[in-house]
Amino acid sequence: MFNDLPKFVFLTGKGGVGKTSLACATAVNLADTGRTVLLVSTDPASNVGQVFGQEIGNAITPIAAVENLSALEIDPEAAAQAYRDRILGPVRGSLPEAVLKGMEEQLSGACTTEIAAFDEFTALLTDDAVTGRFDHVIFDTAPTGHTIRLLQLPGAWSGFLEEGKGDASCLGPLAGLEKQRARYAAAVDSLSDAALTRLILVARPRASSLAEAARTSHELAEIGLTNQHLAINGIMPGQARGDSLAAAMIARERSALSEMDAHLAAMPQSRFELRPENLVGLEALRRMAQPADPQAPASANALPDLPPLGRMIDELEGPGKGLIMTMGKGGVGKTTIAAAVAVELAARGHDVLLTTTDPSAHLTETLAGDVPNLSVSRIDPEAETQAYRDHIMQTRGKSLDAQGRAMLEEDLRSPCTEEIAVFQAFSRTIREASKRFVVMDTAPTGHTLLLLDATSSYHRETLRHAGESAARMTTPMMRLQDPEQTKMLVVTLPETTPVLEAARLQEDLGRAGITPFGWVVNSSLAAAGTTHPLLAARAATEAPEIARVRDELAPRHAVVPMLAEDPVGPARLRALCGGEAALA
């Protein structure tokens, strides 16, 4: 595992890269060598208790089967709710309901959850009476650079908001934190101390995952967190054994690793092989440090029905027009699924517009040149976001002092800002869906839609000024809420964390009055028909996640196979729609 670890260790990375598995395996490894260890999870998808087979919860709990190891699970959703109650409780009954509703929405986004979780674990990080009992404290998930910068902002956040200087997405959650500023300063000092803390960036051996790790690394380095270590998890081991999918995975991983960011490549690294099993239980965790066994037998779990994407497109096709939007966390393949749906509809004779934020110009060129009935537009997220930031700073920011402008500038670095800017660009094409299919890659979250609706008041103001004609008007929000006009597709992977994140996204949309049309489970080994022993074993572990999507979460679902070749170009994109038959 990792060598020469300092007292505090933080693991960070996108959902599904294996942070919890690595954190648990590292904690067990250290405890087995006689070190006293506290494992702390602030991950909303935490399954630490499941991994060790015992209840943990929000109290330091000894792990019965591992001497020297204790664990603590901080529930960020519970922390966020307690945080919202603490801020809103004193003003309930004294403010109009509409104002309260707006405040609640400001406190419902990802920033609130992360800040509330940070509030919990900084109390732990700065409590020597607690941490002094342990040689190592391992945190499963670390705060983002954006959150740390927010907490470092000067001045009184409450005053900034009360004076009406801002109504942005991330400053709201900061309103109740003034009393904790000294504690946050101490926590950030600890994070910056290389002798005390190490940040481990966890990534998969894929170009997109490594690029995300590089962005995170640069962002953290800019605020002084430079004691970083790269952990590349899930590398395909051994030989392809005649399996085309295994051979393609090995080739793609080698290419991604050889072409990774130079700064990332120069960083201290640890590499971990893809395992044939889910890392649940002590023996599996201890095997993490050993080579994977390519002969490992597949699980006895029976695979559920795997309906192809083409079956879902049969239903999408019915009206002959409409708006189809793909949404999901980064790295799940939203762009690929959007392109596959667009190509299939065009191949069936429909007039289709595919609009995407995908920076891969070769994909756009391939589709535009070779697919009849399909036109493509591409939105540059960086350009749209910068234009939006410039507009806000020139309007709302011009009357602020230097401190106020610094606060507004940091707030505009929120992920919500990009969602709003890109969605505004997308909105210009929504009217096209009244006469043909419009397939949009990357939809905003429910929180962002509600925030955009609240801050712009577009929906309400349009109806108020319309008078008698209101009944005939359709605003962008109304179109998104109308299942006859808009079909939302939630895209996920057949793994525990991505499925949980997608479920939370669906709940978020529900608050905005939007019900997804269906779920697409992407990159499934089970649907690929692989014969490689290791991949076949991994395929069997997908069964409970696909069953959960089918039985508990999705009104309808499709399972898309992982392909041996990158799904670029019409033929390969259409192969994603047809299941195993298309791969023959």
β-pairing, 437-441 with 322-327? parallel
Tokens encoding 222: 């800019």
The CATH number of the domain where 401 resides is what? 3.40.50.300
- Mind listing the pLDDT tens digit for each residue in 422-463? 878 877 788 889 899 999 987 667 666 665 555 444 444 444
Q: What Cα–Cα distance (Å) separates residue 58 from each residue in 138, 262, 399, 448?
A: 15, 40, 44, 30
How high is the pLDDT of residue 268? Answer: 94
**φ/ψ (deg, to 5) at 54:** -155, 160
Task: Specify whether 534 is located in the same domain as 419.
Answer: yes
Rounded to 5°, angle at Cα 333 from 330 and 334: 80
Kind plus residue range of the DSSP H or E element containing 103: helix 97-106
How high is the pLDDT of residue 162? Answer: 44
Rg (CA), the chain: 24
In a domain, 12, yes or no: yes
Q: Is the pTM of this model over 0.85?
A: no
Tokens encoding 390: 């410039």
Question: What is the strand order of the sheet 352-356 is part of?
Answer: 374-378, 352-356, 437-441, 322-327, 486-492, 518-524, 557-561
- 255 and 497 in contact (C-beta within 8 Å)? no
In a domain, 420, yes or no: yes
In a domain, 562, yes or no: yes
Name the one residue in this structure whose structure tokens are 């602020």: 400
Q: Which residues of the chain have pLDDT under 50?
A: 154-168, 296-300, 455-463, 465, 470-471, 579-584
Q: Diameter of the chain by CA atoms?
A: 76
Q: What Cα–Cα distance (Å) separates residue 266 from each residue in 226, 229, 306, 474?
A: 13, 10, 42, 54
Name the one residue in this structure whose structure tokens are 């572990």: 541
Task: Specify whether 264 is located in the same domain as 349.
Answer: no
- Of 230, 253, 287, the one marking the end of a domain is 287
- 69 and 135 in contact (C-beta within 8 Å)? no
Task: Specify whether 32 is located in the same domain as 139.
Answer: yes
How high is the pLDDT of residue 161? Answer: 39
- Three-state DSSP class for 93? coil
In a domain, 294, yes or no: no
- 232 and 204 in contact (C-beta within 8 Å)? yes
In a domain, 428, yes or no: yes
> CB atoms < 10 A from the CB of 281, how many?
15
Task: Specify whether 281 is located in the same domain as 316.
Answer: no
How high is the pLDDT of residue 68? Answer: 95
What is the spatial distance between Cα 503 and Cα 499, in angstroms, rounded to a whole number? 6
Closest by Cα among 159, 142, 158, 171 to 410: 171
Indicate the residue type of 363: L
- Three-state DSSP class for 198? strand
Burial class (CB in 10 A: 0-12, 13-18, 19+), 451: buried
- Of 287, 321, 352, the one marking the end of a domain is 287
Alpha helix (H) ranges present in 193-301? 207-222, 244-258, 262-265, 282-287
In a domain, 393, yes or no: yes
How high is the pLDDT of residue 428? Answer: 78
- Mind listing the pLDDT tens digit for each residue in 501-527? 899 889 888 888 889 999 999 999 999
Task: Specify whether 508 is located in the same domain as 365.
Answer: yes
Task: Specify whether 355 is located in the same domain as 257.
Answer: no
DSSP states of 49-113 as a string?
A: HHHHTS---SS-EE-TTSTTEEEEE--HHHHHHHHHHHHHGGGTTTS-HHHHHHHHHHTTSHHHH
Residue 553 DSSP class: I
How high is the pLDDT of residue 158? Answer: 42
Which residues are annotated as catalytic? 16, 18-21, 43, 497
Q: How far is CA 536 from the centre of its chain?
A: 27
- 346 and 373 in contact (C-beta within 8 Å)? yes
Task: Specify whether 264 is located in the same domain as 355.
Answer: no
Burial class (CB in 10 A: 0-12, 13-18, 19+), 468: exposed
Alpha helix (H) ranges present in 305-360? 309-317, 334-347
- Three-state DSSP class for 535? helix
| Tally of CA atoms within 13 A in the half-sphere of 583 that contains its CB | 20
In a domain, 570, yes or no: yes
Closest by Cα among 454, 450, 523 to 481: 450
Domain of 472 in residue numbering reads as 309-583
Kind plus residue range of the DSSP H or E element containing 131: helix 128-131
* Per-residue three-class SS string for 407-466: HHHHHCCCHHHHHHHHHHHHHHHHHHHHCCEEEEECCCCHHHHHHHHHHHCHHHHHHHHH
β-bridge partners, 481? none
Name the one residue in this structure whose structure tokens are 């991983």: 253
Number of domains in the chain: 2
What is the spatial distance between Cα 132 and Cα 161, in angstroms, rounded to a whole number? 38
- 277 and 541 in contact (C-beta within 8 Å)? yes
Task: Specify whether 250 is located in the same domain as 323.
Answer: no
Kind plus residue range of the DSSP H or E element containing 542: none
In a domain, 297, yes or no: no
What is the spatial distance between Cα 124 and Cα 97, in angstroms, rounded to a whole number? 36
Task: Specify whether 241 is located in the same domain as 321.
Answer: no
β-bridge partners, 228? 199
For residue 476, give every residue at least 6 positions away whose Cβ sits within 8 Å of its Cβ, in sequence order, or none: 427, 430, 458, 459
- 151 and 116 in contact (C-beta within 8 Å)? no
Task: Specify whether 197 is located in the same domain as 150.
Answer: yes
For residue 107, give every residue at least 6 positions away whose Cβ sits within 8 Å of its Cβ, in sequence order, or none: 80, 83, 84, 87, 88, 172, 173
β-bridge partners, 139? 10, 40
- 306 and 546 in contact (C-beta within 8 Å)? yes
What is the spatial distance between Cα 324 and Cα 388, in angstroms, rounded to a whole number? 25
Task: Specify whether 337 is located in the same domain as 258.
Answer: no
How high is the pLDDT of residue 292? Answer: 63
β-pairing, 69-73 with 61-62? antiparallel
> CB atoms < 10 A from the CB of 174, how many?
23
Task: Specify whether 268 is located in the same domain as 375.
Answer: no
